[in-house]
Amino acid sequence: MWYLTAEEEAHAAEALSSGGFFAEWAGVMLVLPFVAFLLIVFFGKRMRRHGAEFAIGALAVNLVWSSVLFFQNAVEGIHREVSWVVGEIGVFGGDRLVFELGWVVDGLSIMMFWLVSFVGLLVFVYAVGYMHGDVRVTAFFAAFSLFAGAMLVLVGAPNLVQLIIGWEGVGLASYLLIGHYWEDLDNVRAANKAFLVNKVADVGLILGAVVLGFTLGTFRFSELSVAAFDHSPELAGVAVAAGLLLFFGAMGKSAQFPLHIWLPDAMAGPTPVSALMHAATMVTAGVYLMGRAFPLFEYLASDTRGLMVAIGAITLFAAGLLALVQDDIKKVLAYSTVSQLGYMMTAVAAGGYTAGLFHLFTHAFFKALLFLGAGAVIHAVHSNNMSDMGGLRHYMPRTHWTFVVGSLSLAGIFPLAGFWSKDEILATLGYEGYTTVMWIGIAGAFVTAFYMARAVALTFWGSYKGHGHPHEAPAVMTVPLIGLAIPSIFAGFLNVPGVELGPIRNFTAWLGARVVPMGDHHAESVDWALAAVGLAAALTGLVLGWLVFSPDADTQRARDRFRIPVLYPLLEAKYFLDHIAWAIVNATKGPLARLVDWTNSYVIDGVVNAAGFLSAALARFVYGGLDQRGIDLAYNGLSQMADAAGMAARRLQTGRVQQYAAGFVVGALVLVLMIAVFR
């Protein structure tokens, strides 16, 4: 076990470097994708690659920048916070509650900067090939750049308000990109579903932000952390409520049971979108939020842990089961993502800050790799369904091998990245006393290995079941696959417990570069026994999956048609969650609407009508009695007089100039005579 000494606690923040130029101006990274967005919007259509140049350029700069930060942080640890006050939200107890924008540069945000830039860059490059010939390439890259910018704003946010801005920004980009092929009504529905489910969760996030902001008088994470670390009394009063609200918000974005229902449908978007947003980065925002607010949960709101761990555990296992029955390869991966997010959430909730975020880190590589591989396959066979694939290893060897690497990594096979991060989570759960959950995690590892074995077998082994002649993806797509396969293999070594990699310290140390110590629970050495159990479960799953699905096309078809009673229909129907959601909506919307309607019709309208009737009666009296019979009579009389006078006078205006002239001369004469006579 690893605990902070008192001295370390006191000086944790002071010991950190301020990071120099690159940390001071890290905001450039936040702005560049927006610049790219604008450039794409205005000039994208004129460019040879329809604006992809701008998006890739921005992320390439960001990757260099964040890499510098990454190594600075790895060597010495950085904490730097830059905020500008741009407005005032209100006055709270004599303190100004200000609206700030800026960036925080510390272990967590640097990890996310680098992750978003690295995976994002590779996915963007991949998308150039994948989206070639699409009708709306420019719109696609514009929205993609918008996403990158919003995501960086989110992860760089020094306060909750900016985080919410980024949070909604990525939600918007997600909505746009899920609905990219809006010609198909189903895609529009999927986009709407994702948006609405996220909105439901966002209510929790916003309420949590309000509670925290008005309790502390600030929205800054650093002050929240300090207050939590100091066990601030006023924060302690609202900690549980605020923690639950924030967790509810995280559940939506990170697709935790039962709010995960939007994520599989979100696969309607182009595959690069699924890879970057709905697997590697955006959906981890919830986990990131939990990590960002970790001191709150660690020091004050620890009572909420049981619920959070439970929800994470349910998510990881239930979603894994759902992945077993999907025919759509992207949905397999989507449920896998939900399952892995469950792992992360469980770990963070249980107190495994490093464990959860390390899994986020490694998962980003191999899940993006798997999605891109799936995209290459879909690109080749023009179908999402595994029943149309099979035997593709002969046609697309590079895709096959990288996909296998990703699958093994995801399944947690030693010594790939997924093994280390998953083992870390299981170890943390064990240390924290969530033994049951730990066993659920091990079972989940089995399930994971099983469905990945199924996916690989159905897609790449056996014989081809689809139409046409699939061929290997172009280099612009396979190079990113290889680029992601490498960290999928090696990233795990960054965080082998108790191992320091020379000047580049352990991942735990990087991530711990925060304003206050995390109070993280972390193993000092590998628990080989537990690792062996987890590995055994994974290998069992692999072998079993292989035996069931590998041999040939006919067997595959037969096995796939085999339906386990009760369980299969339940999974097929996705636990009836969509039905339940519909039922809830349908059941509540009627009475609720009727209640509102009744209130509106009888209470509000009654008051309004009463006032109206009174006014009308008064007005009728004024109109009928005073106005019509009194005033109008006088005015009508006056106007009729004026009218008559005008009618009489207008005969004078004949339009004949000569008559006017005559009148003029006569008038002059009369005047002269008058002067002569009366002088």
Partner 1 sequence: MSFSDWISQPVNWVFLGLALAVLAAGFRVVTSQNVVHAALFLVATLAGVAGLFVLLSAEFVAWVLVLVYIGAVVVLFLFGIMITRAPTGQDVGLDNRRARPVAAVVSLGLFGVLSWTSVRAFQDTAVAGVGERTPTDILGEALLGRFVFPFEVVGFVLLAALIGGITLARRDLTPKEEEERGAV
Partner 2 sequence: MILPQFLILAAALFSLGVYGLLVRRNAVMVLLAVELMLAAVNINLVAFEAALRTSQAVGQVFAIFVITVAAAEVGIGLAIVLMIFRNRQSANVDEFDLMKW
Name the DSSP letter for residue 26. T
Whose Cβ is closer to partner 2: residue 592's or residue 665's? 665
Q: Give one DSSP letter per residue of 192-217, joined into a string.
A: HHHHHHHHHHHHHHHHHHHHHHHHHS
- Binding partner at 676 among partner 1, partner 2, none, C-beta below 5 to 8 Å by kind: partner 1
Of 3, 628, 654, 667, which lies in the binding site for partner 2, with binding defined by CB under 8 A?
654
Residue 673 Cβ vs partner 2, minimum distance, rounded to whole Å:
15
- Binding partner at 650 among partner 2, partner 1, none, C-beta below 5 to 8 Å by kind: partner 2
Which residues on adjacent β-strands are paired with residue 81?
A: 104
Whose Cβ is closer to partner 2: residue 649's or residue 675's? 649
CB-based contact 114:70 (threshold 8 Å): yes
Gap between the terminal Cα atoms of the chain: 125
State how far the alpha carbon of 165 is from the alpha carbons of 102, 151, 162, 283, in Å.
12, 10, 5, 16
In angstroms, how far is CA 645 from the centroid of its own chain? 78
d(CA 66, CA 19): 12
Of 564, 604, 633, 662, which lies in the binding site for partner 2, with binding defined by CB under 8 A?
662
Residue 650 Cβ vs partner 1, minimum distance, rounded to whole Å:
21
Q: Give one DSSP letter per residue of 35-81, joined into a string.
A: HHHHHHHHHGGGSTTTTHHHHHHHHHHHHHHHHHHHHHHHHH-B-EE
- Binding partner at 655 among partner 2, partner 1, none, C-beta below 5 to 8 Å by kind: partner 2
Whose Cβ is closer to partner 1: residue 622's or residue 673's? 673
- Footprint of partner 2 on residues 445-474 (CB under 8 A)? none
At 555, is the secondary structure helix, strand, or coil?
helix
CB-based contact 372:288 (threshold 8 Å): no
Count of chain residues binding partner 1 (CB under 8 A): 8
- Binding partner at 669 among partner 2, partner 1, none, C-beta below 5 to 8 Å by kind: partner 1
Whose Cβ is closer to partner 2: residue 586's or residue 653's? 653
- Binding partner at 591 among partner 2, partner 1, none, C-beta below 5 to 8 Å by kind: none
Whose Cβ is closer to partner 2: residue 561's or residue 651's? 651
- Binding partner at 672 among partner 2, partner 1, none, C-beta below 5 to 8 Å by kind: partner 1
Residue 675 Cβ vs partner 2, minimum distance, rounded to whole Å:
17
Residue 662 Cβ vs partner 1, minimum distance, rounded to whole Å:
6
Residue 652 Cβ vs partner 1, minimum distance, rounded to whole Å:
15
The candidate with the shortest Cα–Cα distance to 79, out of 160, 7, 23, is: 23
- Which residue is listed with tokens 């190079």? 479
Stretch that binds partner 2, among 20-28, 37-45, 311-319, 647-655 (CB under 8 A): 647-655
- Binding partner at 46 among partner 1, partner 2, none, C-beta below 5 to 8 Å by kind: none
- Footprint of partner 1 on residues 120-149 (CB under 8 A)? none
Instruction: Identify residue 215 by its one-letter amino acid code.
Output: T
d(CA 230, CA 413): 41
d(CA 285, CA 476): 28
Residue 648 engages partner 2 in binding (rule: CB under 8 A): no
State how far the alpha carbon of 478 is from the alpha carbons of 126, 278, 372, 403, 472, in Å.
8, 20, 9, 11, 9
d(CA 277, CA 116): 10
- Binding partner at 586 among partner 1, partner 2, none, C-beta below 5 to 8 Å by kind: none
Whose Cβ is closer to partner 1: residue 46's or residue 656's? 656
Of 307, 486, 608, 665, which lies in the binding site for partner 2, with binding defined by CB under 8 A?
665
CB-based contact 257:197 (threshold 8 Å): no
Residue 676 Cβ vs partner 1, minimum distance, rounded to whole Å:
7
State how far the alpha carbon of 354 is from the alpha carbons of 80, 291, 313, 507, in Å.
20, 9, 18, 8
Residue 653 Cβ vs partner 1, minimum distance, rounded to whole Å:
18
Of 502, 650, 675, 679, which lies in the binding site for partner 2, with binding defined by CB under 8 A?
650
Of 529, 566, 634, 657, which lies in the binding site for partner 2, with binding defined by CB under 8 A?
657
Residue 677 Cβ vs partner 2, minimum distance, rounded to whole Å:
19
The candidate with the shortest Cα–Cα distance to 316, out of 329, 331, 335, is: 335
Tokens of 317: 């296992």
- Binding partner at 666 among partner 2, partner 1, none, C-beta below 5 to 8 Å by kind: partner 1
Of 661, 670, 671, 674, which lies in the binding site for partner 2, with binding defined by CB under 8 A?
661
Backbone angles phi, psi at 662, to 5 degrees: -60, -45
Tokens of 311: 């929800």
Show the site string, 650-679: x = touches partner 1 by CB under 8 A, - = not: --------x---x--xx--x--xx--x---
At 99, is the secondary structure helix, strand, or coil?
strand
Residue 660 Cβ vs partner 1, minimum distance, rounded to whole Å:
13
Stretch that binds partner 2, among 280-288, 301-309, 337-345, 655-663 (CB under 8 A): 655-663
- Binding partner at 657 among partner 2, partner 1, none, C-beta below 5 to 8 Å by kind: partner 2
Scanning 491-527, the segments in alpha helix (DSSP H) are 507-511
Of 87, 656, 676, 679, which lies in the binding site for partner 2, with binding defined by CB under 8 A?
656
Stretch that binds partner 2, among 111-119, 243-251, 311-319, 652-660 (CB under 8 A): 652-660
- Binding partner at 561 among partner 2, partner 1, none, C-beta below 5 to 8 Å by kind: none
The candidate with the shortest Cα–Cα distance to 80, out of 159, 19, 155, is: 19
Angle (CA) 19-22-26 rounded to 5° is 110
Taking each helix axis as running N to C, give the angle between helix 329-349 and helix 305-324, from 0 to 180 degrees, rounded to the nearest 10: 160
- Binding partner at 603 among partner 1, partner 2, none, C-beta below 5 to 8 Å by kind: none
Burial of 503 (0-12, 13-18, 19+ CB in 10 A): exposed
Whose Cβ is closer to partner 1: residue 525's or residue 658's? 658
d(CA 400, CA 402): 6
Count of chain residues binding partner 2 (CB under 8 A): 10
State how far the alpha carbon of 62 is from the alpha carbons of 68, 105, 125, 139, 583, in Å.
10, 14, 15, 22, 46
Whose Cβ is closer to partner 1: residue 603's or residue 665's? 665
Whose Cβ is closer to partner 2: residue 469's or residue 656's? 656
- Binding partner at 558 among partner 2, partner 1, none, C-beta below 5 to 8 Å by kind: none
Peptide bond into 258 cis (omega under 30): yes
CB-based contact 268:190 (threshold 8 Å): yes
Binding site for partner 2 (CB under 8 A): 650, 653-658, 661-662, 665
Binding site for partner 1 (CB under 8 A): 658, 662, 665-666, 669, 672-673, 676
